[in-house]
């Protein structure tokens, strides 16, 4: 996981999971290891140190899902109350990453990765700290 964060810190933004896997494998190749693009995506999404933007397409009605298609974490059912007071399932939301779907299945097909952390002084040995999101600081 440290290699994934190191690569994203160095690159700033990585536009695809394939490119991120190439960069990570370049680092891991020095140690004789290799990782698939899917595994890199899952590690990045689960780390909490990487901001993930997901583009998706609609593909029919959402089936019964057990895990998130992006990070393989647990899903939480989203529900609304009906006029009679009963609850109606409206979709799923991942408990770890930003993916969600409604009644129509949102199939993820493109990912963009950005660092949520930065080095304090730009020094490679400096401590990591979380980057403030500009949209939240304007509120």
pLDDT (0 to 100) of residue 82: 87
Looking at residue 10, its pLDDT comes to 87
In whole angstroms, what is the distance from residue 132 CA to residue 78 CA? 28
Domain extent listing, the chain: 2-134
pLDDT of residue 133: 55
Per-residue pLDDT of the chain (139 residues; tens, 9 = 90+): 788 988 988 888 999 999 999 999 999 988 889 999 999 999 999 988 889 999 999 999 989 999 999 999 999 999 999 899 898 889 999 999 999 999 999 999 999 999 887 656 655 655 555 555 544 444 3
CA 64 to chain centre: 21
> Which pLDDT belongs to residue 39?
95
CA distance 88 to 77: 10
């Amino acid at each position: 996981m440290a290699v994934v964060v190191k690569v994203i810190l160095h690159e700033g933004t990585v536009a695809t999971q394939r490119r991120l896997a190439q960069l990570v494998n370049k680092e891991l190749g020095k140690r004789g290891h290799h990782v698939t693009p899917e595994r890199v995506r899952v590690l990045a999404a689960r780390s909490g140190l990487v901001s993930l933007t997901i583009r998706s397409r609609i593909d029919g009605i959402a089936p019964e899902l057990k895990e998130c298609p992006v990070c393989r974490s647990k899903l939480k059912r989203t529900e609304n109350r009906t006029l009679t007071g009963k609850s109606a399932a409206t979709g799923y939301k991942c408990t770890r990453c930003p993916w969600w779907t409604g009644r129509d299945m949102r199939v993820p097909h493109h990912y963009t990765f950005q660092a949520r952390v930065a080095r304090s002084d730009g020094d490679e040995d400096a401590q990591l700290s979380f980057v403030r999101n500009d949209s939240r600081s304007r509120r």
